[in-house]
Chains A and B, each alone.
Chain A
């Protein structure tokens, strides 16, 4: 994953960069799979490696496949990224050990989900019951975000073409 990330930054050919992001997504999907997060892996493989690649490619068909050489200084972005990364790594030092049963995340609502979702909600897949029932509001919000994104794309890209078609019909 690190190799493909570095290669994406170094590459000038956007086509190869898109393919590498797809590979990166597929690798992280298998990474999620080894963590037993099947639903997340599924989503990552379908969205990240599948649809996103197609959308990137159709964007490339519009804008061309080579990026311009940037003439800006590279030290400021590099410094910001390094600083943020260092801060994040410093923050992980305070986190409980991976898989620690006493970690707060395993003590809060997770036991109730695991022990009682079968009686309270029903589906054998706890992820589904958390997503759709316990966390129904969050999922409604997510769907609204997807909906809003589509409206944005339609407004940005759909308008000019439709007007053109309307003009053609009228004339």
Chain B
């Protein structure tokens, strides 16, 4: 599909809005529909679209599988780490109230971090699984 100019132009046009929309869904999840899961999947979909049109090799030069593998674990660690940070600050596990100066600020920060962890892991896992399937030809 690399030679098809229509696909390439459309991909170039669509990719930035897709990635931007993923970030919007990620960080606007507190106010509108969305959150880490959806954002991660949309982000991965953007990368996969790029890989489908431009080929796996070119994508893996931008996002090497080794680095994706790190991100797979990083998201879970960020989530669990947020819980442990709450423990260290004197609260219960995954109790965000103690993270900020007042409970609401703490909750806001905690939810942001946790959703970011979800988003990172989901995006990395989806990209990784796609790499695995597409790379076996």
Contacts and interface: CB of A to CB of B under 8 A. Distances in A.
A9 interface: no
Contact of B75 (A61, A132, A143): A143
A110 interface: no
A54 interface: yes
Nearest to B108: A122
Contacts of B80: 140
Contacts of A133: 96, 107, 110-111
A154 B66 CA distance: 12
Contacts, number: 135
A123 interface: yes
Interface stretch (A38-46, A68-76, A87-95): A38-46
A150 B45 CA distance: 16
B108 A47 contact: no
Interface size class of B (residues with CB under 8 A): 35 or more
A123 B35 contact: no
Nearest to A41: B33
Given A133-B111, A143-B121, A147-B72, A154 B33 contact: no
Contacts of A121: 104, 107, 111
B23 interface: no
Nearest to A151: B72
A139 B129 contact: no
A38 B38 CA distance: 12
Nearest to B103: A120
Contacts of A124: 30-31
Nearest to B73: A147
Contacts of A144: 76
B69 interface: yes
Given A125-B29, A143-B118, A147-B73, A137 B133 contact: no
Contacts of B114: 132, 136, 139
Interface of B: 25, 29-35, 37-38, 41-42, 44-45, 48, 52, 69, 72-73, 75-76, 79-80, 83, 94, 96, 103-104, 107-108, 110-111, 114-115, 117-118, 121-122, 124-126, 128-130, 132-137
Interface of A: 38-39, 42-43, 46-47, 50-51, 54-55, 58-59, 61-62, 120-125, 127-129, 131-133, 136-137, 139-140, 142-144, 146-147, 149-151, 153-154, 157-158, 161
